[in-house]
Amino acid sequence: MGKLLIKGATVITVESHDSVINGGEIAIEGRNIVSVGPAGSAPEGFVPDRTVDASGMLALPGFVNTHTHAAMTLLRSYADDLPLMKWLEEKIWPLEARLEEEDVYWGTLLCCLEMIRSGTTTFADMYFFMDQTARAVEKSGMRADLSRGMIGVGPEAQQALDYVPGFVDRWHGRAGGRITVRLGPHAPYTCPPDYLKKVIDLAGKLDVGIHIHLAETRTEVEDMARLYGMTPIQLVDSVGLFELPVLAAHCVHLNEKDIEIMARKRVGVAHNPESNMKLASGVAPVTKMLEAGVTVGLGTDGAASNNNLDMLEEMRSAALLQKVSTMDPLALPSFQALSMATAGGAGALGMGDRLGLLKEGFRADIILIETRKPHLFPRNDWMAHLVYAAQSADVHTVIIDGNIVMEGRRVLTIDEDEVYDQVQRRAERLVAGK
């Protein structure tokens, strides 16, 4: 990694709605940003190995997808228009039982390819055969926070616990620090309190965090009240889960006490508006969480329940959904949605000190967006354009950890044709029941 200078861009730092630098430049050395400012602001003596002319483009932090199941790209459009539990129990889980390790590798590569092409530079994943996921992430050049999914009521409950220490040892901090690892207990309805306590104890010993689905459906809330007399949030808090760094996916059905606990315990939330709409899970109280001081990022969930991994679409859906559900057009304005997709997501992952902003000392995870498009004229408000009008096809260049991984919409780290061939063949085998 050498020195790179991006010049001529309209730089959106995401530090505030007004943090826009016209004709700006970004100096990068190694994996870090060394300066962000107007033309000529690079440090004295900074001689780039390469200069990227970004005139007519927006430069902004790469998107952070805080919740997905990468290899579920293999299941895209396989089981649509079903409620969550029927979707899981009758369609998804039986097919997943036939997955092989290499299926997960190729499904994850397809996920990385799709995310890179739509401007995502970091993602949080929960699945199984996670060594294969890590291999794919390393090859792609992306940054990822990986969790081994764990089901506490199934025959592989202990096997999942036994797998994690080796996975942490093999991959936590690998790929130049681009890969980090967590434990992934699936949800309170699949991981009862006794199992959760084992997960919490192991995570504490390994000094890693937790990634878990919480309060996703009304049925989950009703079941936890019937079994334990508590909400899902209060249940996992009672067993000590929130004493560790926690990334909580969904958090749709919350009461005021739940939100107060989450704010006080610094729980990071992954809001997945499109998946929640598609599965009719409900509308998360995002504005209430933000007002209470909860850190909220955006996620796509898996491609089997979305059905794409496009964070530009996710921003737009998040903003519109909050407006219509609260009947308040001022709810979740464009800058707040953009911040959730970048700085908020980084904060939810515990990476807010180095990701999510274009700022000196932060990692050089940067995307360039072409603006000479009909849907991006006239140039009134770039924040509004990004959230309400921009499309994934507008993403021109993607830089991760100081390395250019896509340029001119060509991904440099992945053989696209090979991925398409492998994925199609493997998906056909899975659906055929082989």
pLDDT for 1? 66
Residues 6 or more apart whose Cβ sits within 8 Å of residue 180: 144, 145, 146, 172, 173, 208
Sign of CA dihedral 379, 383, 385, 391: positive
Residues 6 or more apart whose Cβ sits within 8 Å of residue 41: 24, 25, 27, 35
Q: What is the pLDDT of the chain when averaged over all its residues? A: 96
Residues 326 and 352: beta-carbon distance below 8 Å = no
Quickly tell me which residue has 């919409």 as its tokens. Answer: 409
The CATH H-level (homologous superfamily) assignment of domain 63-348 is: Metal-dependent hydrolases (3.20.20.140)
Residues 6 or more apart whose Cβ sits within 8 Å of residue 51: 4, 5, 6, 7
pLDDT for 434? 59
Q: How many angstroms from the chain centroid is the CA of residue 313? A: 13
Residue 130 has pLDDT above 70, yes or no: yes
> In the predicted model, what is the mean pLDDT of residues 257-284?
97
Cα 248 to Cα 67, 164, 185, 245, distances in angstroms: 9, 19, 11, 10
299: helix, strand or coil: coil
> In the predicted model, what is the mean pLDDT of residues 47-58?
97
Quickly state the pLDDT bin for 87 (edges 50, 70, 90).
confident
> Could you tell me the pTM of the whole model?
0.97
Cα 82 to Cα 216, 277, 416, 433, distances in angstroms: 15, 12, 31, 20
> In the predicted model, what is the mean pLDDT of residues 272-299?
97
Give Dmax (Cα) for the chain.
Answer: 67
| Sequence spans of domains, the chain | 3-61+356-410, 63-348
Spatial separation of the C-alpha atoms in residues 201 and 198, rounded to whole Å: 5
225: helix, strand or coil: helix
Quickly tell me which residue has 């004709």 as its tokens. Answer: 23
pLDDT for 433? 79
> In the predicted model, what is the mean pLDDT of residues 267-274?
98
Spatial separation of the C-alpha atoms in residues 382 and 400, rounded to whole Å: 23
> In the predicted model, what is the mean pLDDT of residues 91-106?
92
> In the predicted model, what is the mean pLDDT of residues 122-135?
97
Q: CATH second-level architecture of 3-61+356-410? A: Roll (2.30)
The two three-digit tokens of residue 146, written as one number: 């990986």
